Amino acid sequence: MPQKDLRVELLSSTPNALSLIYAAFRQCYHAGFAADMWPKLLDGEIDRQTQADFVGKVLESGHDSPIEHVSFTFAVEGISRACSHQIVRHRIASYSQQSQRYVTDTMDYIMPPAIAKIPEARERFERFMDEVGSAYGDLKDILVAHGRKTKANEDARFVLPQAAETKVVMTMNCRSLHHFFNLRCCMRAQWEVRRMADLMLDLCKQELPAIFRTGGARCEQLGYCPESPKFACGKYPTRE
């Protein structure tokens, strides 16, 4: 069971994202029809900087529902099942995750940095992963020998640990992504999901800076930590 590294790629995002968000915002405050405005946005009659400035000002007011019209789709590999369980708790999103029932040729794993930097901890962790891989293979063989055949792997997988690597395709709209980054870029978030969220945020900032320029942990927008003093990391003062 070899160790796997994190990789995050942006597969797709809504075309003409900034213009779409601008049109949606303007429809809320404009007597005209967004469809009549649309050609002007696409041909540059209303330039992108004007669109970005308007969107930014409205977002600062707290009106953010129109950014739900734009979504981003990511492919992620090199995360543990422990991490994926945290991700799928975010409800307004779509997920397609690699199945342990059907993908059985290799079982990679994720090693926490705190374990990796201590030689004796790393050695014990790797030894256990080897044991798990051996047990998984043995159980599959035993189950096949007793007639379980192609279904053997769905039972043998019960011995696989939370460290087992998985791959996910996930889609979120911009509003959900901001909420995701508020929580998962925070220093209180678990190291693995925070590292993944940071990479996703970098991609979003490159693709749509007008929307994600201020993305990240909630304290970055507030200028203070919304947690109680007991849970604050110390980067910003608490509300108290």
Tell me the catalytic residues. 184
The tokens describing 162, both together, are: 């939370």
Is residue 30 classed as helix, strand or coil in its secondary structure? coil
What is the H or E stretch that residue 75 is in? strand 71-80
Is residue 239 classed as helix, strand or coil in its secondary structure? coil
Is residue 16 classed as helix, strand or coil in its secondary structure? coil
CB distance 175 to 93 below 8 Å: no
Question: What is d(CA 195, CA 6) in angstroms, rounded to the nearest whole number?
Answer: 9
CB distance 55 to 21 below 8 Å: yes
